[in-house]
């Protein structure tokens, strides 16, 4: 038998380790059922997996908030975020659109965190606001653009988060906040498949469940099974859900139905329990 050259062996090994799809969880019932899938999913996103006593910046000296915000981070001493904030070494990436409320980003920047906000609607490629806050005309997606197409769209700049991390020279993100209007499911899938999620300390994602989301296909029960499977993948990566915010100001819809006492929008916060 001929020995493979070492270069080929490495290439073959890389091919074998690339993940193209997440592992779907078994159905919630013996036969596919939307009622069972929805019940399992909604119970899962509404149940904290780990307790967090100190959330939001009002637990830091000098901060006070009069209203409860959905963007919750865990500042308990047992996790690294609070220590990195105190040592001025924390980094926040915020993915969103121009009409977002930026108070959370401003507060994190004021605490000394390096904050990068990605918004495709800003006028300049990069804008620095104060000492610690940067705005970038970038849209974070679950795929990099086709170079042949991107060359004709001078004002369109869409990239995967892993690509941006490499270009910025950042190896870790302490907090990733995302409000990307239904692109969150595919972005989260990309972060899991490419192991980028392991470079993140805490996730704060707004999830939308009034429709499947961009490029999520299948019937209703299949879609909910996919959502649930994504979140279980996070659990396998040692992320634990510590806070859920159910937005009652949004339409109370679940896959275009007024059903299951569900809101169309939830903000979920996880902490990576392996984060150093």
State pTM to two decimals. 0.88
pLDDT digits (tens, 9 = 90+) for 34-53: 999 999 999 999 999 999 99
pLDDT digits (tens, 9 = 90+) for 63-97: 444 445 689 999 999 999 999 999 999 999 999 87
Q: How many helices (H) and strands (E) does the chain have?
A: 8, 10
CB hemisphere CA count around 273 (13 angstroms): 13
Q: What is the pLDDT of residue 146?
A: 63
CA distances from 2 to 5, 90, 121 (A): 9, 51, 56
Q: Mean of the per-residue pLDDT values for the chain?
A: 87
State the Cα–Cα distance between residues 100 and 92, nearest whole angstrom. Answer: 16
Q: What are the chain's domains?
A: 32-59+71-272 (3.40.50)
**Given pLDDT bands bounded at 50, 70 and 90, which one contains residue 24?**
very high
Q: How far, in Å, CA of 188 to CA of 233, rounded? A: 10
């Amino acid at each position: 038998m001929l020995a493979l050259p070492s270069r080929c062996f490495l290439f073959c090994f890389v091919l074998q380790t690339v993940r193209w799809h997440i592992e779907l969880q078994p159905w919630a019932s013996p036969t596919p059922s939307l009622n069972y899938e929805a019940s399992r999913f909604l119970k899962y996103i509404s149940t904290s997996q780990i307790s967090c006593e100190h959330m939001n910046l009002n637990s830091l000296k000098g901060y006070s908030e009069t209203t409860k915000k959905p963007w919750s981070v865990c500042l308990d001493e047992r996790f690294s975020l609070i220590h990195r904030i105190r040592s001025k070494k924390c980094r926040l990436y915020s993915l969103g659109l121009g009409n977002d409320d930026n108070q959370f980003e401003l507060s994190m920047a004021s605490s000394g965190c390096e904050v990068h906000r990605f918004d495709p609607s800003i006028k300049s490629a990069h804008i620095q606001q104060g000492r610690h806050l940067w705005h970038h005309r970038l849209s974070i997606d679950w795929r990099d653009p086709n170079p042949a197409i991107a060359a004709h769209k001078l004002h369109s700049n869409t990239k995967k988060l892993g690509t941006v991390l490499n270009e910025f020279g950042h190896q870790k993100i302490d907090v990733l906040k995302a409000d990307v209007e239904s692109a969150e499911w595919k972005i989260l899938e990309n972060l899991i498949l490419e192991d980028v999620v392991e470079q993140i300390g805490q996730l704060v994602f707004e999830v939308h469940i009034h429709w499947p989301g961009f490029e999520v296909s299948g019937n209703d029960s299949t879609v909910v099974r996919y959502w649930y499977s994504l979140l279980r993948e996070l659990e396998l990566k040692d992320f634990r859900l510590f806070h859920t915010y159910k937005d009652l100001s949004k339409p109370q819809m679940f896959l275009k139905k007024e059903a299951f006492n569900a809101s169309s929008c939830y903000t979920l916060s996880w902490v990576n329990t392996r984060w150093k």
